[in-house]
Each structure stands twice: as C-alpha cells, then as structure tokens.
Chain A
Amino acid sequence: MTYPVLTTITFLPLAGAALILLAGRDRLARWFALAATLATLAVSAPLYLYFDKASSDLQFVESRTWIPSWNIAYGMGVDGISLPFIFLATLLTVLCIGASWTAVRTRVREFYAALLVAETAMIGLFAASNLFLFFIFWELMLIPVFLLIGVWGGPGRVYAAVKFLIFTLSGSVLMLVGMIAIYRTCGTLDFKALALARDTLSPSQQAWLFAAFLAAFAVKVPMLPLHTWLPNAHTEAPTAGSVILAGILLKMGAYGFLRVSLPLLPHGVQLFLKPMLVISVAAIVYGAYVTLVQTDVKRLIAFSSVSHMGFVTLGIFTLNRSGVEGAILQMINHGIISAALFLCVGMIYERTHTREISDYGGVAKTAPVYSTLLALFCLAAAGTPGLNSFVGEFLIIGSAFRTQAWLGALAVWGVALGTTYLIWLYYRVVMGEMNPSLVGLKLELNSREMATLAPLAVLAICLGLHPEYLLSYLHVPVANLLASGVAP
C-alpha cells in the first residue's frame, strides 16, 4: 500500500460531507454521497486483500504524534475483530444512500452530509487504536444520528431524538470519567500499551472502571433495562437512520466490551460476569416476548434487536472461544439482517405510508420478488440452518450450555420465540388475502431497490453456507484475547 488506508477511509466520507455542503445543489447531493461511499468501499479493498489472518496484532497501523503533551498519539489499526465491522459500516452506508434515494426529499444536502459524518464516526471507531480516539469517534456519532432521527424521522421524531441523545450521552460521560481515571493511573491510552500496563489497576479500581464503561456500552448495545431509547429511535428514524442504528451503532457497545472491558479490565469482568449473563438471557427472553405483541412493523423489528443483541452479550460473557466468536459473527449477522429488514420495511412504507401490521396482508400477490427477499431475511433472522444467523446462534447457545445449562435452555427458548414472531409477521404482512387498502398500489420493488437488497441477501446466504470465511478472521485474535487472562 502506498497510502494510509485506514485514515483515508475514515476521512473520505467527511470530505464528501464537506463537498456536499459546499456544492450547494440538492440534485447533486445524492450523487456526491454515493460517489463518496463507493469510493470509500473501493479504497478499503487493500484491507481485505493484504490482511494477515494468522496475526493477532493490529495491522495497517498508523501512528502520528497528535497531542504530545498528553502522550496521546493519533493511532489507527485493525485486527480480525474490527475488520468485519469496517466492511459492514462501509457497505451499509452505500445501501443507506440507495434506500434514501427517493425517500428523502427535504433538506437533502444536510441529510447526506449527516449520513457521511456518521460513516466517518463508525469507521473511525472501529479503526481507532487508542482509547482517546475511540472516545472521540464514539461521541462524534452522537450528533449526526441525533439529526438523522430528529429531522427526517416520523411523527414522534423529536422525542425519540432527544431520548437517544440523553441516554447515550449519560453513558458516555461516565466512560469519559473512566477513561480519565485509566489515563491517570496508567499514563497512556493506547490499547496495546494499556494491555501491558493493566496490572497497575487494582482489582477494585477495575471493578469501578468496568462499571463506568458498562454504562456507556450497555446503553448502546442496549442491555436491559437501558433499552428503552431503542424502540423510539429505531421506529421514528428514517430508513437510513434505522439501518445505521441497528446495523452499526448497536454493535459499537458490544465492540467496546471486546476492545476495552475484556482485555483491560479482567478483574472487573470476573466480578460482573454473573449479572452480565443473567441480563443477557433476560434480554433474549423478555425482548422476544415484547416483540411478539408489537403491532407496528418497525417497532417489532426494533424490539427484536433487543433480543438478538442479548445473544451477542451472552456470547461475549461466556468467555470461551466459540461463544466470543459466535458473538462477533452474530453481530455481523444481525447487522446484515436487521439492516435488510429495516430496508424492506422502509421500501414498502414509501408506497403505503403505514407501519401498522394490520394495514398489510397479501403483499405476495403483487410483489413476488419483495416477498421472496423478505422471506429470506425473516428466515435468516429466525436462525434457519443454511442462513447466516444459524451459525452464530448455534455457537453462542452451545457455549452457553457449557457455562450454565439453564442459560442455554433459556436462549433456545428465545430462538423459538424469535421464529414465532418473525413467521407470524411474515404471515400477516405477505400471505393471505390482499388487504383492500393495498389494492392498486404498485408494491413491487424497482431495480434500484433490488440492487440495494441484493448484497445483503448474498451475504446472508454466503455466510450461512460458509461461515468460516468470516470466522477465519476471528480465530487468532479471539484466542489471543481470551488467553490474555480474562478467561477463567
């Protein structure tokens, strides 16, 4: 490589956002945005071509002096854990633009600019190799998503946006104090240096620090009982906002556990292990039951995320290899599937302008392609063998059984409930008699929308049939993570 890949892909979208704001023409905005995101995707190619799967170190490392007086450098780098998320973030943003092409009609320039700033934050977060930079990108995500929800969202958008902002900010300010406390004790914020210096943190300090970081991560994941911002935010956000929220933002919290809590605070993890497992299982089962009774399509998918993210945290805190690998795989899977489901809902909403399940029915009669794709994604979300979620859930549940049998049993119950609400949703929306209010509407997807969904469908099938493609990135770093002392 002759260019700093990570810095380029992080700041290319930001440059695109600046260009869009300065260009001054609404018609050009979406083309500029598409070009910027596609360019980002293209420029990131060397990451996948030259990545060394056998190494657990950070790769494509960049380091420059940034704040010498505080001993904080500008550091970027990826390992097998963060790389898939960068791919997901770059891909989903492209699809978001495809989904917003005709859906966003007001203040177009600002919309695409906000979306691109959010992309910078997402990529930067996963590429950061020190805690300070991680925090900066974590917070940078706040305002664009706040605007995406609040400006272009549904009827309850302002409430949802403010709730989102206050919840996330409350968590992240505690992370700020935690970060400062770590900095004060260890004198550095570089992840690698911290892993070596972590023994200077006493067990009780680690417990407090874990709690401080938990506040930030648990809000983002979200874990019970801090999930209440999620249904509002996901439901009211425009399609692109929901995709970003469900696809990437929720993963930021879980990624935080993997990047900060597990490697740096092993004593804290041990202390909080039991509660974490219990909360995760509770989220799986409670989330699934709440999902069952939803009458609003978007709200239903939003609540299903609570349940699905429960699997992720369950997998992480089983602290064994297959559990953690399954959790990461499941994060990517959920990113693909929930994004696809939100896209599907958004596409049909554009035609019908209703999100109530009872207003649908018999969609398959006029929209066979749409119905087929929706079936694929619903089955994938339900964990059908051969599609991507199956592998992740299988790995997680397997290691949950090894940790505590009842955890596994409850998780299986969650899967069963998941199948129920997804199939039932599909049944009510797509099958049966055509709802009279839908007659005469042109429900079938156009080619732009098919092109938007196609990559996700391909990924769902490929990762289902050959999960090793993704898992091969995870083996070495996860083994290294667990061997570094956090596993019992």
Chain B
Amino acid sequence: MAKKITRFHKFVMHNPFIQFFKFIYLNIKILNVVAMGHGGTRNSEKTD
C-alpha cells in the first residue's frame, strides 16, 4: 500500500509563497550537487 500525500503536504506543495523559498533552496541544492565537482574513481582526486 503506497503512502498518501497528506493535506498539509499538499498545501505546502501548492502554496506559491512557500514554494518561492523552496525554489531558491532547490537551486542552491542542485548547484551544490551538480556544480561542485566530479572526478575519477580509480586513483584520482576530484579534478573539475
């Protein structure tokens, strides 16, 4: 049985004011994950 999205969660999901701050948070998070570098896995340090 799948979990349900609660009414409160739906309110948060659709509230533009709250979502504006979420938008900023997500952009920072994505930048942090994607743009903060990548590298090899064999015998190297991060290079980019």
Q: Do A and B come from one complex?
A: no
